[in-house]
Amino acid sequence: MKTNRILISQPAPVSLEKSPFRDLIEKDKIDVVFAPFIKVEGISAKDFRAQRVNILAHTAVIFTSRTTIDNFFRICEECRITVPEDMKYFCVTESIALYLQKYIVYRKRKIFFGKGAFADLVDIVVKHKEEKFLVALSDPHKPEIPQTLDKAKIKYDKVILARTVSTDVREKVGDLKQYDLLVFYSPFEITSLLNNFQAELSSDVRIATFGTGTAKAAYNAGLNVCVLAPTREFPSMGMAISNYIAQIRKGSPIDTSYIQEYIQEDHQKNEELIAKVKIISKAKKSVKKKSSSSKKEGSVKSSSSKTNGMASSTKMVKNNL
């Protein structure tokens, strides 16, 4: 088993100096071929209007990617929608939140972000339940996004702003047998791989995946997943592949059991976060009910004291007569 040539489902870097795969090419002497298996296309203003979503009827927008940010502000410009300055933004990660600076003045009081998992962001969203949320999405998108919001009893509308489509890479990629490793970054890229090369895929085709969602999609398709990133030991895909190559060249056995362990771990974390969000949501409802009942009790007592006061006044007037 060797690894001399790999295929990466990403656009070729503008400069090798800044590429995360520079060490693979220069130090490990790997022939790297770049070929994007998917492309994201923004929807037209006509398709946006067909969804009958009123952006200005919302006070907060949830973003899961830079692509949805770009297309949100593009659609607003094309449809002549002026986004209010007091609009709030909730982003899955800090880097996505910082990307908003391209379009708005970054103010901490109106921008919130999570740590990467969508369930983690919902933990923050729950604390702002009074907002009218709009979720900006691409199609297809992860089903856990609306599922997590539903479980947390968040009221929201969703709008599709972009579509992910497969690209025909057969001519550029050629025969899959010439590659020792195929590298993918999203479940949609796995779908595109199946669309392009269904007949050529076998257990001999080795796959590297970024993220447990991509790994799960590859396993479900019956593919041979050999590398996963990020992990605690190897936080980048370049590092993970470099380690894999080193093991191959040493003749060491390749242990892939850690991949399933990470998938299970991530699933468990998401379930725990969703459960936590549910508890917070229920606690907030309980506090609201208590507050509401306290106000009612206060209102009843006030009404009762007024009635008693009026009764005693009437009694005094009668006695005086």
pLDDT in tens, 200-218: 888 889 999 999 999 999 9
Kindly tell me if the per-residue pLDDT of 39 is higher than 70: yes
Torsion over CA: 119, 285, 55, 96 (sign): negative
Q: How confident is the model at residue 269 (pLDDT cuts 50, 70, 90)?
A: confident
Q: Which two tokens stand for residue 222?
A: 């019956």
% of the chain exceeding 90 in pLDDT: 61
Please state the rounded mean pLDDT for residues 40-57. Answer: 96
Torsion over CA: 174, 177, 180, 185 (sign): positive
**Alpha carbons 183 and 204: distance in angstroms, whole number:** 14
Domain 41-165 class in CATH:
alpha beta
Cβ-contact 125, 61 below 8 angstroms: no
**Alpha carbons 285 and 281: distance in angstroms, whole number:** 6
Q: Where in the chain is the domain with CATH 3.40.50.10090?
A: 5-37+167-255, 41-165
Kindly tell me if the per-residue pLDDT of 308 is higher than 60: no
Within 10 Å of residue 111's Cβ, how many Cβ atoms? 18
Within 10 Å of residue 8's Cβ, how many Cβ atoms? 25
pLDDT at 116: 79
Kindly tell me if the per-residue pLDDT of 20 is higher than 90: no
At 108-167, the pLDDT tens digits run 779 999 987 788 899 899 999 999 999 999 998 888 889 889 988 899 999 999 999 999
Q: Which residues contact 129 (CB under 8 A, 6 or more apart)?
A: 154, 155, 281, 284
> Strand 5-8 to strand 224-229: parallel, antiparallel, or no bridges (unpaired)?
unpaired
Helix (H) or strand (E) holding 224, with range, is strand 224-229
Cis peptide before 230 (omega within 30 of 0): yes
Please give the C-alpha separations between residue 56 and each of 99, 100, 119, in angstroms, as whole numbers: 22, 18, 26
Say whether 164 sits in a helix, a strand or coil: strand
Q: What is the CATH number of domain 5-37+167-255?
A: 3.40.50.10090
Helix (H) or strand (E) holding 113, with range, is strand 111-113
Exposed / middle / buried, residue 33 (Cβ in 10 Å: 0-12, 13-18, 19+): middle
Please state the rounded mean pLDDT for residues 3-32. Answer: 88
> Strand 60-63 to strand 38-42: parallel, antiparallel, or no bridges (unpaired)?
unpaired
Q: What is the pTM of this model?
A: 0.74
What is the SS3 assignment for 18-84?
A: HCCCHHHHHCCCCEEEECCCEEEEECCHHHHHHCCCCHHHCCEEEECCHHHHHHHHHHHHHCCCCCC
pLDDT at 287: 64
